[in-house]
Structure formats: structure tokens, C-alpha cells
Structure 1
Amino acid sequence: MTKDATKPPHILIIGGGSVGLYTAHRLQRHLRRELGRGDVRMTMVSPDPYMTYQPFLPEAAAGNISPRHVVVPLRRVLNRCRFVTGEVTTIDTARRVATIRTAAARDSGGPAMEISYDELVLAPGSISRVLPIPGLAAHGIGFKTVEEAIGLRNHVLEQLDIASSTRDTAIRQAALTFVFVGGGYAGVEAMAELEDMARYACRYYPNLRPEEQKWMLIEATDRILPEVGTEMGRYTVRELRGRNIDIRLSTRLETIEDRVAVLSDGSRYPTRTLVWTAGVKPHPVLADCGVPLDERGRIRCTAELRVLDTPHVWAAGDSAAVPDLTADDPTALCAPNGQHAVRQGRHIARNLLATLRGGTVTPYRHAYVGSVASLGLHKGVAQVYGRKLKGFPAWFMHRTYHLNKMPTINRKARVVAEWTLAGLFKREIVSLGSLEHPRAEFEEAAGGIPRPDRP
């Protein structure tokens, strides 16, 4: 496709996660100053008008942070970037055209939109890696979005309401059994924060005792939190078991049919709560984007974050296979985590600036500095620059590190304000489960009148 040389270069960014946000934010800070006003156009395409800071999802689920403060509004932050609410469906890299299904097209069934580009940043992120386990689709709960985090909080508090209002032993036990599958960051932190919250909430239920609750973590490998090292992983297991949390290592979930969790060791647990946090996989839309993929569905990239053998296309983040130049193994790839995603987004911006100025691009290089994890209020584990921390110091480092990485001063200030208020007052333990079905009461009042497909 022949580009009009009279038009300013157009940078198209697919995905509004960490890579997309930091790429666009760095570009809009430098483009006008270095290249002149109006010399470059930017467009971002994302299904959501906000970026979710996922490390704070467990705290949002526990009620320590309001859900609106763990998201960053893209339109406000990227005020020099055109924003399109939609999803990419295909990309023609030869013509340099992306086909977008916008929110309007999705709602009305209208035609898709085509957006041409001069440079493309492809970062659609990842989705939950779900296995074909019987009953999982019907009864499982994910933990990757702010909606899922708040829905899980409401669900856990609702189970306490159910247990406190019945004398049926079977119903009560199923309501108070909480099963989490996956021993990575998401599973461990979500379970630890919610267990902490639920144990606190029992003081407001006279007929419930904290020890009646059964919290379980199922992990298929022989350890949890591998990112913090073997020693700190073992400490985490001891810490959680000390809180009466059942940690099952080298164990798999076989089925969850009829709300009964059946494990590979033969045990069975009736439960109304099954949280699936067993990893992620690259977004499946990449198969239609005309870019080379590896055996795991990730975009093959060079160390400069260019897509292999695909001119004018860049990629990073969870969906990209980026060589790790700091590793001894020449085949090693950067881990799909936020630490790399933020830095890769900024590095793409620098290389794009160099490309537009006719300069030289540089390879991405970042040595992994360590990891921090929260295990509930005032409890944590960390390994940073070889130093191992646990308990309150690790928890404090977790909050300090992620507060520093939270985008925008606006969001940092709001999070600090909420932490301060949480330290002065008691926890909020109100369940707002009706938010998930806001029209239910009106429909019942209307006498069951069928509602239209669209409001």
C-alpha cells in the first residue's frame, strides 16, 4: 500500500495495557518537543477505556483500594492520542492496515473500521489459560480483570451471608469452602488477601467462626511463587499453612462438576467458590495478525522489540517472545510480567523516536531485580537484589514498590489516601453483589416483562 508522503507518520497502538500505555505516554511527551507539533499522529485501540494495574487487584478484592483507583483512564492520560474503543480482528502487514471491530459495530452489527498505519505497536496482552476441565466454564471464577476482582469479593462475602443464614450443614460447608487453583502471584495474593478479609468479617457474624472456613490452594507443581525463590516459596507455604490454609502441591483439579471439586489425589470438596488463576496465554487474535508466532502463540521478536521479518511492526509484553539478553542461555526469553512490560513499552517508544529521526534502534536489556508479594494485611514475602524479606518489611516493600510503579500522580495520591483511611477506620465488608445484575429488581417489579436485547 502506497503511503501519502504529505501526511504525518501515523503510529497505531493495539492494546491499552502496560505496554500500550507506557509506549503512548512516552511518545506524546517527546514527539512534539523533538519533531514539532503535528508531525506525528497516534491512535490507540483497546476494548476498555482504561488500563488495569493488576498488582493491586488483590487489594481491590480485599476492599483496601476502591476499584476505580486501580485503573488508569486512557483518554485522560493520553490526551494527545486518538482513542478508539474496539478490538483488532485482522492485520494486513503488507498493506499496513488493521481491521477494527469498534464498540459501535459490536453493538449494532455495523461494518468494521479499517485504520492504516506507518508504524504498528502490537500489544493485545493475554487471556486466562483455561484447561478443558469438566465444570470449569460453568462454575469457575477468573481473576484477571477489575470486574472479576470485585465480583469475587462480593461472592466471598455473599457466601458468608449464605452460611450464616442456614442450618443445613452441607450448604454451610460448601459456602465456607474456597478453592483457588494456581500458585503464582495471582492465586497466592488473591487467596491470602481474601482469607484475611473473610476472617476479619467473621466478627460481624455471631454464628460463624473463622476456623469453620476452609481455604485451599491447588498447585500442579511442587512449589508456589517460584519468582521469589525456593527459600521464600517454602516460607510462604509455612506462613499460609499456619493460617489454616490447605496448600496442595503436585496436585491437579480433575473436575468441578455439580460444584464438587475433585482433585488428582482422589479427595472431593463440595464448594461454591472455585477461583482459576492457573496462568495466562497470548491473546488468540494474534493468529489473524499476519505476524510470526512461536509454539506458545507468542509473537517472535528481535531484541530491539521489532517483530521478526515484519517491517514497521513492534511488539512487547505478555504476547511477545522477547530475547533476554541478560541471561546466560542464548535462547532465554523475558518473563511475561509487569516489570518487563513497563520497561519494554518505554523502550519501544525510544526506538520509535529513533526510527522517526533516522537514528539507530537499541536492543532491550533488563536484568530481573526480584519480586515482592503480599500475603494479606501487614504480611508479605520478597526477594529483591538477592535480599530476602518476609513479614511486615516485605509487605511494606510490596506497597512501596507498586505505589511507585502505579501510573500517574493522580492515581498514586488516591491510593495513598485510601490506605491512610483504611488504617484509621475498620474494614469495609459490605457485599454489593446486586451490582452485577442491576436491573433484576426492576424486572421483578415490572412483573417479568421481557426486556429488550439492548437498553
Structure 2
Amino acid sequence: MDTVTRPRILVVGAGFAGVGCVRRLERRLAPNEADLTLVTPTAYQLYLPLLPQVASGVLTPQSIALSLRRSPRYRTRIIPGGAIGVDLRAKVCVIRTITGRIVDEPYDYIVLAPGSVTRTFDIPGLTDNAFGLKTLAEAAYIRDHVISQLDLADASQDPAERASRLQFVVVGGGYAGTETAACLHRLTYNAVRRYPRLDPGLIKWHLIDIAPKLMPELGEKLGSSAQEILRRRGIEISLGVSIEKAGPEEVTFTDGRVVPTRTLIWTAGVVASPLIATLGAETVRGRLAVTPEMSLPGHDGVFALGDAAAVPDLDKGEEGAVCPPTAQHATRQAKLAADNLLAALRGEPQRPYHHRDLGLVVDLGGRDAVSKPLGVELRGLPAQAVARGYHWSALRTNVAKTRVLTNWALNAIAGDDFVRTGFQARKPAKLKDFEYTDAYMSPEEVAAHVARTSRGEV
């Protein structure tokens, strides 16, 4: 088959869904059957569930950044940039490269797996003063920031400043927020021993969530166990509470409390990537509405999965149910989406997505964890073994597995040196500076741009 006439497959996103799909296609495509391209700003897959451990220094950033160029079947062209618009009629994806250049990438088949971004609300000062935890850079930056608060508090002669620097607020009672609060609390608890001028009693961590329960998916017993572990450590948990406004030196809760703090970490859920809005297609709570086969109705050759797609949950038994945005679903959907794309390419029947829930794991740091593998409730060391065993086995490369295992062992034996690595600059970087949610086009802008390009005006 002539190279020019080979079908062009474009995969958008290098998360669990995108990378899993690419790897499956690399294995199953015949050598000259199609050209495969991946769009991602970074040439690695980030293992998101372990970000709290990077933020707390248990793991190094490199250990959970899995290189995309280690595959023995590597055949994918990688475009270093982010997709900012898709014209479904013209079959063109508009990409902003990491240098800021705008390029158009035509395709015959496209897999949309751009993932999600941090969900924010119209809360005064939130995006200007809060940190998110969705990227490797954010995790590394938060670690530097937290340690710098201890350094600055230790050097300060002002009791009010010292108190505000030693209070920390985490918003979000899901897995990300709970693990973040637990891991960073351990970081400050262990670090304060190296600061003899600081009163450990001044260090206060607040975990708040608007929901009435912490991690309700775990069930009543395990959720209560996790809550008790955190409270026993000294973390103050407030449920049914959120943020009313956020300032650079204090945060106001919706129950009227004003907490002096320089650290607000926002992990209150995610929403689909803004790329989905550029398509002008039907959505379900912001996620692209797709069939059980993960194809977009009315558009041949368009597939979507992961956090950005509302994939029907046929196994839940409820009308209108969709799969939650978890790594477990994204990994499984990736394989089937690749198989269904190949089926479409070869004129074969496609299969709907089905799954069996493997359970949930929550690593609270140290020897504390709660897990529910296959419905079995575990606490303490058995839960910790299951949680870390699950994460370790889910890492895609042996190099990553070795690094993570080594980091865990070294941290358990030698502890942490609490070294800042230099990310804390004079100008602080907050939530709005990491996710670039304002970089996307509207559907009309995408169509106009593609039209101008086709006329040779761009």
C-alpha cells in the first residue's frame, strides 16, 4: 500500500486511555496498514494516582513519568503539543505545539482521550490563590511550597505570619484530596522535628468537602475508618463545607470561618477537557456522549473514551448510567477502543464496553490505608499492601516499577531530607498557571481557522 494513501489515525492525549489505545494499536496494526500519530505536550504517561506521594516526597517525579519512547514496538509519531480544537466535518485537529505554533493535523480516524482538568467554580480568588494537583509540575511545586512555608515560618519573628504559614487547607474529600491531605500532613509532621524553633502544635491541616461523607464510594465502614485515621493524626475534617472566597493570606469557609493560610490545595473533582466543547457535539455533564462502542454517533471514525467521554455503563443496570472518570475504566476502555477502531478500519463488527469492578484502594501514607479489593474490606497493613501492590502492578514499564519500589524502600528506611528543589520562585504559580484552560478555541473559531488554512491564508 502506498504511504500517501494509508489511513491516518490520530490519538489525542497521553493518559491511561490514550497511551493504552496507542500501545494496543502498535501491537495489532499490520506494518503498512495505517499511520499512527499521538498528540501530547509531554512524551510521558503520568501515573496520576501516585501524585500525592510525589507531592509529599515519598516518590521522585521521574518515577511516575513513564516514557512513551521505551516501547519495543515504537512506531508512533508524537506531536509535542496540545489539541485546542477539532473540526469533525473537515476531519482536522488544530494543535498548539509547545513552542506556541498552531498546526493543523488531518486524520481519517481520531481517538479523543484528552482527559480532564480540575473542576473549579465561580469562587472569588480561587484560581488566583489555590494550587491544583493534576500535573507532575504541580505536585513538585506543592512540595517545594509546603517546605518553604516551614522555612519561612521558622525565620519569621511575626506570630501572625508564622501561624498563617503553618495552616494548610485541602478542598475535596475524594481519593485525591484525602490522600493529598494525608501524605502532606505526614511530610510536615516529620519535617517539623528539624525545626526546633517551631511549635508542632501550630501546624494545622484542614480537609473540607461539601459532601456529607468522606469518599462515599468506600462504603460507611471504610469511609468512617479513613476519617478516624485522619482525625487521630490531627487533621481537622469539615464536611458540608466549601470555600466562599480565597485570598493570598486567608480562606473563608462557607460556614463563616476565616482560616489564615498561605496554602490552599483544590482537589474538588474534575471536568472533561475543554477540547470537548470545541466539537459542537452532544455532551453529558460536559463529557462527550458516545455509544457503548465508544464511537461518536453521526461521525464515522471518531472514538472517545476516558474522563472526557460519557461511556454508557451497561453493567450498572441503571438507565443513563455512565462510567466514572477513573484510571481503572480508562485502561480497560483503551483496549476495546483500539479494537473497535481496527474493526471499523477493516469493516468488522464492533463490541460494546463491559467491565467488572476490581474495587478501590486509598493509601493514607505510612502504615495506614483502606482498601476494598473485589468487595473485601481491608484496613491497616493488609490494605496498604493491596494498595501499593495494585499501583505497582499497574505501572506500565519495569523501569518505573523498579524506581517506585526503590523509592518506597528508601523512604521507609532513611526518611526524607525535606530539600526544596527550587520551584518556589519569587512569583508564585497557582492553579490557573498550570492547566491552560483558556487556550482552547470555540467551535466557530475552529471552523474559521480550518477554512482559512484550506484557502492558504494561514
The partner residue of 2:423 within 435, 441, 448 is 435
Q: Residue type of the partner of 1:74?
A: L
Alpha-carbon distance change, 327 to 439 in structure 1, aligned in 2, over 3 angstroms: closer
Q: Deviations over 1:378-411 (max 9, x none)?
A: 1111112111111121111111001111111221
Counterpart Cα distance in 2 of 1:120 and 1:243: 48
Alpha-carbon distance change, 396 to 368 in structure 1, aligned in 2, over 3 angstroms: same
The partner residue of 1:183 within 162, 173, 177 is 173
Question: Do the aligned residues in 1 keep the contact of 2:371 with 2:378 (CA within 8 Å)?
Answer: yes
Bigger Cα displacement from structure 2, 414-423 vs 22-31: 414-423
Shift in Å, 1:38: 2.0
Query: In the alignment, what sits opposite 1:80?
Result: 75
Matched-pair identity in %: 38
Counterpart Cα distance in 2 of 1:238 and 1:222: 15
Query: In the alignment, what sits opposite 1:13?
Result: 11
For the pair 1:381 / 2:370, whether they are aligned, the reply is yes
Counterpart Cα distance in 2 of 1:183 and 1:42: 39
SS in 2 for 1:113: strand
Query: In the alignment, what sits opposite 1:212?
Result: 202
Counterpart Cα distance in 1 of 2:248 and 2:41: 33
TM-score by length of 1: 0.90
For the pair 1:402 / 2:391, whether they are aligned, the reply is yes
For the pair 1:64 / 2:48, whether they are aligned, the reply is no
SS in 2 for 1:179: strand
Bigger Cα displacement from structure 2, 350-359 vs 117-126: 350-359
For the pair 1:103 / 2:98, whether they are aligned, the reply is yes
For the pair 1:250 / 2:248, whether they are aligned, the reply is no
Alpha-carbon distance change, 308 to 162 in structure 1, aligned in 2, over 3 angstroms: same
Query: In the alignment, what sits opposite 1:268?
Result: 258
SS in 2 for 1:356: helix
Counterpart Cα distance in 2 of 1:273 and 1:101: 32
Q: How does 1:158-197 map to 2 (within 5 A)?
A: 158-197=148-187
Question: Do the aligned residues in 1 keep the contact of 2:44 with 2:67 (CA within 8 Å)?
Answer: yes
Shift in Å, 1:436: 4.7
Shift in Å, 1:330: 2.2
After the TM superposition, list the runs of 4 or more consecutive aligned residues in structure 1 that deviate by more than 6 angstroms: none
Counterpart Cα distance in 1 of 2:70 and 2:278: 31
Q: Residue type of the partner of 1:261?
A: V
Query: In the alignment, what sits opposite 1:307?
Result: 296
Q: Residue type of the partner of 1:171?
A: E
The partner residue of 1:55 within 45, 49, 60 is 49
Counterpart Cα distance in 2 of 1:285 and 1:228: 32
Question: Do the aligned residues in 1 keep the contact of 2:248 with 2:262 (CA within 8 Å)?
Answer: no
Shift in Å, 1:170: 0.5
Query: In the alignment, what sits opposite 1:447?
Result: none
Shift in Å, 1:439: 12
Question: Do the aligned residues in 2 keep the contact of 1:292 with 1:308 (CA within 8 Å)?
Answer: no
Q: Residue type of the partner of 1:48?
A: T
Bigger Cα displacement from structure 2, 403-412 vs 4-13: 4-13
Q: Deviations over 1:108-153 (max 9, x none)?
A: xx5x322221211011111111112122122111111111111111
For the pair 1:226 / 2:224, whether they are aligned, the reply is no
Alpha-carbon distance change, 103 to 410 in structure 1, aligned in 2, over 3 angstroms: same
Counterpart Cα distance in 2 of 1:439 and 1:185: 30
The partner residue of 1:30 within 28, 36, 40 is 28
Counterpart Cα distance in 2 of 1:386 and 1:309: 39
Q: Residue type of the partner of 1:19?
A: A
Question: Do the aligned residues in 2 keep the contact of 1:254 with 1:263 (CA within 8 Å)?
Answer: yes
Question: Do the aligned residues in 1 keep the contact of 2:272 with 2:307 (CA within 8 Å)?
Answer: yes
Counterpart Cα distance in 2 of 1:63 and 1:5: 48
Q: Deviations over 1:322-352 (max 9, x none)?
A: 1001112021110111110111111111212
Query: In the alignment, what sits opposite 2:437?
Result: none
Bigger Cα displacement from structure 2, 19-28 vs 382-391: 382-391
The partner residue of 2:40 within 43, 46, 50 is 46
Query: In the alignment, what sits opposite 1:155?
Result: 145
Question: Do the aligned residues in 1 keep the contact of 2:140 with 2:423 (CA within 8 Å)?
Answer: no
Pairwise CA RMSD: 1.9
Q: Residue type of the partner of 1:30?
A: R
SS in 2 for 1:240: helix
Question: Do the aligned residues in 2 keep the contact of 1:229 with 1:383 (CA within 8 Å)?
Answer: no
Q: Residue type of the partner of 2:74?
A: N
Shift in Å, 1:6: 6.3
The partner residue of 1:358 within 347, 361, 367 is 347
SS in 1 for 2:180: helix
Query: In the alignment, what sits opposite 2:358?
Result: 369
For the pair 1:123 / 2:123, whether they are aligned, the reply is no
Question: Do the aligned residues in 2 keep the contact of 1:193 with 1:375 (CA within 8 Å)?
Answer: yes
The partner residue of 2:274 within 284, 298, 302 is 284
Alpha-carbon distance change, 282 to 239 in structure 1, aligned in 2, over 3 angstroms: same
Counterpart Cα distance in 2 of 1:24 and 1:170: 53
Bigger Cα displacement from structure 2, 186-195 vs 301-310: 301-310
Query: In the alignment, what sits opposite 2:434?
Result: none
Q: Residue type of the partner of 2:77?
A: R
Counterpart Cα distance in 2 of 1:350 and 1:304: 10
Q: Deviations over 1:420-449 (max 9, x none)?
A: 2223322231122x2354999xxxxxxxxx
TM-score by length of 2: 0.89
Question: Do the aligned residues in 2 keep the contact of 1:75 with 1:83 (CA within 8 Å)?
Answer: no
Q: Residue type of the partner of 1:53?
A: Y
Question: Do the aligned residues in 2 keep the contact of 1:220 with 1:250 (CA within 8 Å)?
Answer: yes
Counterpart Cα distance in 2 of 1:262 and 1:404: 41
Unpaired segments ≥5 residues, structure 2 = 429-458
SS in 1 for 2:169: strand
Question: Do the aligned residues in 2 keep the contact of 1:378 with 1:396 (CA within 8 Å)?
Answer: no
SS in 2 for 1:222: coil
